Amino acid sequence: MRTSASLSISRSSERMQGSTEKSRFRDARQDTIAAEVKGLSKVYNAGSARPYEALKNFHLSIHANEFFTLLGPSGCGKTTLLRILGGFETLSAGTCTIFGQDVSRLPPEARPVNTVFQQYALFPHMTVRRNIAFGLEMLGIARAETERTVERMLELVHMTEYADRKPETMSGGQRQRVALARALAPRPKLLLLDEPLSALDLKLRQKMRLELKALQRETGITFIFVTHDQEEALAMSDRIAVIDQGRLQQVGTPEEIYEHPESRFVADFIGESNLLDARVSGLIGGEATLTVEGFADIRTSIEWPLVVGQIVSLSIRPERLVMREAGKEACSGTARVVARTYLGNAVEYHLMAGSQTLTARAPRGGLRGLLDFAPGDEVGVGFEPGSIKVLLS
C-alpha cells in the first residue's frame, strides 16, 4: 500500500512539470479503467427476517481521468456503492477493482483512494494545516515533502490564509475546500465525493461546481461524485450513472442521458418529462406508428424492437412541446390550459389533453413566447420533430 501510494505521488509530481507532458500523459491514461465493479451486490441484514438489497448485480467501469457521477434519488444505493469503493462497506457478492487491483477485501487504509465526506468530517482538534497533512503523515512521507504538499494544496483550494485556523471557525464553503485539500493531498488514484455540495447554499454550490470541475482537470485525478441533484450532475460530469432501487439504469454523457433516456425512470428523473402512454399500432421499417389517446397517430423512428399492440411510454421534454392557437394550424392534438406559471426566464403551462396532463415550457421573449395563453384557453399541441422518445414501460 505504502509503495503504491508514494508511487502515485512521484507520478503526480512528474505530471506537474510541463503542460505538454501532462496532456500526453493524460491521453495515455484515457482508456485505462480507474475503477470497475462486476456483479456487485450488497445485502444488509442478510440472513435476517428482512434482508435489504441495496445494490443488485451491479456492473460499472469508470475510466481514468473521468469526472464520473453516481446519480439517483435518496436511498437508491449510490452512497452504498461509493462506500464500497472507499472500503467502508463490505460487498456481499461480486468484485471491485481499482486500477486493476482487486480491492474487494481491503480496508479503507489500504486503498489508494481518498474521500470527501458529506459533512466533511474534518478533525476538529487540528488546524487546517494539520488536517491536510494527516494523510501524508500516515503514509510516512518526509516532513519537508509533507509541508511542501500542504502548501501546494492550500494554494490549490485558496485557503492559505486560513492555514492555522480550526475547522469550527470556518464557513461551510471553507470547510468544503479544506476537506477537498485533505483528500487530494495524498494524491489518491481515485477521489470519492459523497454529496459534498449538499450542505452549501445555492450560490456557493454553483460556484463550487465550477471549482470542483476545474480541480479535477488540474489534478488529473479520477473523481467519483455522488449526488441526487441532476442539475449538478449534468453540469459537472464527463459521464453519469443513473441508479434507481439498487439497479444501474443508464450510463452516459450528460447529453446522452438527457437527450436519449433509455427508461421511463431516467426520463422522469433527469430534467422534466411529459410521459404519455401509447400503443404500438403499426411498424414499417425503422418507424413505428403510435396511438396516443386524444392525439393523432405519431410516427417516429425506433431504437429497439417493438411488437404491434405493445404498450410503451412516450417521453417529451416540456421545452419541446409546441403550443399553437387551436384550429389555425395542423396539430397532433388539442388541450386545455389549466394553469400558467411565470418562471422569470420562461413560462410554464399545465395542460389537459383528454385524461393526460402535460407540461409545456416556452422561453420568455423567444419566438414562441410571443404567443401567450391563459388558463381555460383551448390550444393546439404539437411535438418538435425528433423530440419524442419511445421508452419501454
Partner 1 sequence: MSARQLSLSSRVSPRLADLGLLGPAIAVILLFMVAPMAIMFVYSFLQAAPYGGVEWTFTTEAYSSILFERDFLDDSLTFTPDYLIIVARSVCQAGLATLLCLVISVPTAYYIATRPERQKNIWLVLITIPYWVNLLIRTIALLFVLRGDGPINAVLMQFGIISEPLPLSYNGFAVCLGLIYSFLPFMVLPLYSAFERFDFRLLEAAYDLYASRRIAFFRIVLPVMRPGLIAGSLLVFIPSIGSYLAPDILGGGKTLMIGNLIGTQFQSARNWPFGAALSMILLTLTLLVLLWLARRAGQQKSDCR
Q: Which 179-208 residues touch partner 1, going by CB under 8 A?
A: 182-183, 186
Which position among 129, 189, 317, 361 is part of the footprint of partner 1 (CB under 8 A)?
129
Helix/strand/coil (H, E, C) string of 232-263? HHHHHCCEEEEEECCEEEEEECHHHHHHCCCC
Listed in sequence order, the DSSP H helices in the chain are 2-15, 19-29, 78-86, 128-138, 143-156, 172-184, 202-219, 230-236, 254-259, 264-269
Helix/strand/coil (H, E, C) string of 99-127? CCEECCCCCHHHCCEEEECCCCCCCCCCC
Asked if 269 and 69 touch (Cβ cutoff 8 Å), the reply is no
Please name the residue that has the C-alpha cell 450510463. 251
Can you give the C-alpha Rg of the chain in angstroms? Answer: 25
Residue 86 or 254 having the CB closest to partner 1: 86
Sheet arrangement for strand 101-102: 52-63, 33-44, 93-98, 101-102
Nearest-approach distance from CB 83 to partner 1, in angstroms: 9
C-alpha cell at 274: 411529459
Does residue 302 bind partner 1 (CB under 8 A)?
no
Nearest-approach distance from CB 125 to partner 1, in angstroms: 5
Nearest-approach distance from CB 137 to partner 1, in angstroms: 9
Give kind and range of the element (H or E) at residue 187: none
Which position among 53, 117, 238, 289 is part of the footprint of partner 1 (CB under 8 A)?
117
- Cα angle 57-59-62, degrees, rounded to a multiple of 5: 150
Residue 124 or 385 having the CB closest to partner 1: 124
Which position among 51, 107, 369, 375 is part of the footprint of partner 1 (CB under 8 A)?
107
Nearest-approach distance from CB 225 to partner 1, in angstroms: 16
Nearest-approach distance from CB 235 to partner 1, in angstroms: 26
b/e sequence 309-318, b meaning 16+ C-beta within 10 Å: ebebbbbbbb
Which position among 39, 123, 145, 231 is part of the footprint of partner 1 (CB under 8 A)?
123
Nearest-approach distance from CB 139 to partner 1, in angstroms: 6
Distance CA 6, CA 150 (A): 15
Does residue 130 bind partner 1 (CB under 8 A)?
yes
Does residue 261 bind partner 1 (CB under 8 A)?
no
Nearest-approach distance from CB 118 to partner 1, in angstroms: 8
Q: Which 59-98 residues touch partner 1, going by CB under 8 A?
A: 86-88
Beta-carbon-side half-sphere exposure of residue 330 (alpha carbons within 13 Å): 3
Which position among 31, 164, 201, 255 is part of the footprint of partner 1 (CB under 8 A)?
164
Q: Helix or strand or coil: residue 335?
A: strand
Does residue 246 bind partner 1 (CB under 8 A)?
no
Which position among 7, 28, 46, 138 is part of the footprint of partner 1 (CB under 8 A)?
138
Q: Which 209-238 residues touch partner 1, going by CB under 8 A?
A: none
- Which residues contact partner 1 (rule: CB under 8 A)? 1, 5, 86-88, 107-109, 113-115, 117, 119, 121-127, 129-130, 134-135, 138-139, 164, 182-183, 186
